[in-house]
Structure 1
Amino acid sequence: MIIFPAIDIKDGNCVRLKQGKFEDMDVYFDNPVEVAKTWEAKGAEFIHIVDLDGAKDGKSKNFEIISEIARTVNIPIQVGGGIRTREAVQTLLDAGVNRVILGTAAVNEKELLKSLVDEYGKQIVVSIDAKDGIVAIDGWVNLSSLNSVDFVKELEEIGVQTIVYTDIAKDGMMEGPNFEIYRELMEKNSIDIIASGGVSTLEDVAKLSEMDMYGAIIGKALYIENIKLEDALEV
């Protein structure tokens, strides 16, 4: 299982939100590039980056920082947050980003998603952010009409190979992931699933690994040192 340290960027800072609420934000570092270098030095094999300004406003304020991370580290990075056009995808890939994560665009622009998957294959990842089983969009501010389990099946039919699945209620709360939804998704689909939200102990990491999850994103638990990255990589 791949461990993805998370770097969430807001106004150029490395931050964490609770349940996606911008009013409930902790700032951890003012230099996301240095954070990325730290995770690489500690053994990370992939980094997960979210442009929170992009997710909220639909356009990136942090592209220069993201492109600098891509130039600076020698491990792959995946980036999400407000990526809603073909041009935005191409710009990130040209900057050295290895995978681009679509959220709102995957819900609202199915034809765009299909054409991007046809063109870029596994470099296109879809983020499913669910609240009580319903897919949230627009930086988690609004709810769509989509059932998250049904949506995963639809994405698999389109050809998406990897998803990031976040249970919003668990995100940043340090209460453990929603193991039940991951079990259900694994039983019903063959798509690669990256677990996100609530991973707070080494026991959580071990349980996800035992379930044969493709990956797990760890955010707050790393920043408050509930989990040491080196230990998580050894699970």
Structure 2
Amino acid sequence: MTLFPAIDLKDGKAVRLSKGVMESAKIYSDEPWELVKSFEKMGAEWVHLVDLNGAFAGEPVNLEEIRKIRANCNVKLELGGGIRDEETIKRYLDLGIDRVILGSIAVKDPQFVREMAAKYPVVVGIDAIDGYVAVEGWGEVSEMKATELAKAFAEAGVEAIICTDVGRDGMLSGVNVDFTLSIARASGVPTIASGGLKDRADIDALQATGEIEGVIVGKAYYEGTLDLEKALKEVQ
């Protein structure tokens, strides 16, 4: 199982939110690239990046920081937040991002995602509040169930689905294994859990299912409830 250390970019800094609320942002680094480099040295294969400002703006905002991360780090990078058109996808891939995450646009225009997945390395981000899909930086909740959206990408050629239980995100309340499994089974696509990871027990619970591809590691690392370096060595 792959562990994805995560960095949220807000106003050029590395932060983490609680339940996706922008005002809850806690700054962990003024130089995000240094954090990514530290993950690389720990043995991470991937780092998960989100342009938080971009998620709300619907276009790239933290481009300079993303460039700096790519220039200084060799780890694989997946990036989401405000990617709504092919031009932005190409821009990020040309910049050296390894794969892009499509979230809000996946709800509004699933056909666009299918077309992009046929041409580029695409991951779908499904963010849910009480089982229903949240969009626009989690500022809105749609009427679509997360499992319905997952089914729409069953044979779309996407590389993975990242499913986030927004209510648990940044809360260190434990990962939602059942929700993650429901997405994996509905889609048949490699599925990555996100939201609420607290400690090694959560990783073990996900791994025990034998059906979950990976997990996003955020606040558990930053607040010290998970020994990330040890987990990377033992789990990957």
Tell me whether the two structures share a fold, i.e. TM-score over 0.5.
yes
Give CA deviations for 1:115-155 in whole Å, capped at 9, x if unaligned. 101112xx100100000111010000001221100110111
Superposed displacement of residue 183, structure 1: 2.6
For structure 2, list consecutive stretches of 5 or more residues without a partner in the other structure.
none
Paired residues of 1:44 and 1:229 also in contact (CA < 8 A): no
TM-score (norm 2): 0.95
RMSD: 1.2
Structure 2 CA distance for partners of 1:189 and 1:108, relative to 1, 3 Å: closer
Paired residues of 2:117 and 2:157 also in contact (CA < 8 A): yes
Superposed displacement of residue 158, structure 1: 2.7
Paired residues of 1:67 and 1:92 also in contact (CA < 8 A): no
Paired residues of 1:163 and 1:191 also in contact (CA < 8 A): yes
| SS of structure 1 residue aligned to 2:116 | helix
Give CA deviations for 1:75-106 in whole Å, capped at 9, x if unaligned. 21000001101000000000000010000111
Paired residues of 1:7 and 1:48 also in contact (CA < 8 A): yes
Give CA deviations for 1:31-84 in whole Å, capped at 9, x if unaligned. 101110111111111000000000111122211211221222112100000110
> Residue 191 of structure 2 corresponds to which residue in structure 1?
193
Superposed displacement of residue 220, structure 1: 0.5
Runs of 4 or more above 4 Å deviation? none
> Residue 224 of structure 1 corresponds to which residue in structure 2?
223
| Aligned equivalents of 1:190, 1:161: Cα separation in 2 | 11
| Aligned equivalents of 2:64, 2:131: Cα separation in 1 | 35
> Residue 14 of structure 1 corresponds to which residue in structure 2?
14
> Residue 143 of structure 2 corresponds to which residue in structure 1?
145
Q: Percent of aligned pairs with the same residue?
A: 41
| Aligned equivalents of 1:188, 1:48: Cα separation in 2 | 23
> Residue 63 of structure 1 corresponds to which residue in structure 2?
63
Paired residues of 2:163 and 2:183 also in contact (CA < 8 A): no
| SS of structure 2 residue aligned to 1:156 | coil
| Aligned equivalents of 2:150, 2:185: Cα separation in 1 | 12
Paired residues of 1:221 and 1:227 also in contact (CA < 8 A): yes
| Aligned equivalents of 2:182, 2:106: Cα separation in 1 | 21
Of the three residues 174, 185, 202, the one matched with 2:172 is 174
Give CA deviations for 1:140-179 in whole Å, capped at 9, x if unaligned. 0001221100110111133323110000011001010111
2:87 aligned with 1:87, yes or no?
yes
For structure 1, list consecutive stretches of 5 or more residues without a partner in the other structure.
none
Paired residues of 1:200 and 1:227 also in contact (CA < 8 A): yes
- Alignment length, in residue pairs? 233
| Aligned equivalents of 1:190, 1:119: Cα separation in 2 | 20
TM-score (norm 1): 0.96
